[in-house]
Amino acid sequence: MRMFATLGRSQAGEASAMMGTGSSLLAQRASALGGASAVNKGCSCCGRVACMGTCMPMRHLHAHPNPPSNPDQALEYLREGNKRFVNNKPHDAHPTRNLDRVKATAGGQKPFAAVLSCADSRVPVEIVFDQGFGDVFVTRVAGNIVTNEITASLEFGTAVLGSKVLMVLGHSACGAVAATMSGGAVPGVISSLYYSISPACKKVAAGDVDAAIAENVRVQMEQLKVSPVLQGLVKEGKLKIVGGVYDLATGKVNEIA
């Protein structure tokens, strides 16, 4: 919590500038993270991104030489990255996966995309999209479900850090969806996931796990759109919320309409 509070203090000042609709709500959350002064101040030396003592121009935080200027371009970067991954042709000596990049992003981050993914170990988001340090703001939870904590994290990644596309990413053979559909007994509190996934299962034919996985992505997308902060960014053309399903057998991300 200490680390997250530090981020809130140094970056919450960007919220008002990056937001229109829903900015007061975001300001309240930023204030809760970093104190009242966090809402009014950005970096003490550049006023833009988190510097933590070493001012770094925003352009240096982007991995790409030509950072996406709009949501459509940001989505295309994800598509291109996944295509490289599927074709087994990643960036040569990947420019954003080395120690130089680690050092370059130590003072702040400017991810062009945010992703809500399942926690499955076979879906490493940055690798799937052929991205590296500082490129993608990732939240992960079994079943890629939306919770208050997930929503808050994604509001931070988009409204404060500036991600221009937000993808809800499910995957084939998702155990959380399959378990919800079967309704079987599971240990501990695993069944608490059922509540968020069951609406999708009820919309498809019984036993059709693949359809439920895709529908669950749609349901979670709609849950995110309830957020006034995310909704405001979408209305202003600063954010696009999309969905996809990762195929464990091929590595391809198939977008969901």
Q: How far is CA 222 from the centre of its chain?
A: 15
Tell me whether residue 201 is annotated as binding. no
d(CA 198, CA 205): 13
Could you give the 3-state DSSP secondary structure of residue 126? helix
Close Cβ partners of 84 (under 8 Å, ≥ 6 residues apart)? 90, 91, 130
Structure tokens at 20: 């229109």
Q: Is 69 left (phi over 0), alpha (psi -120 to 50) or beta?
A: alpha
| Count of residues making up the chain | 257
The residue among 8, 13, 19, 14 whose CA lies nearest residue 41 is: 13
Tell me whether residue 51 is annotated as binding. no
Sign of CA pseudo-dihedral 227, 229, 230, 236: positive
Residue at 198: amino acid letter: S
Tell me whether residue 55 is annotated as binding. no
Strand pairing report for 165-171 and 240-246: parallel
Tell me whether residue 171 is annotated as binding. yes
Q: Which residues are annotated as a binding site?
A: 118, 120, 171, 174
The annotated binding site for Zn(2+) is made up of 118, 120, 171, 174
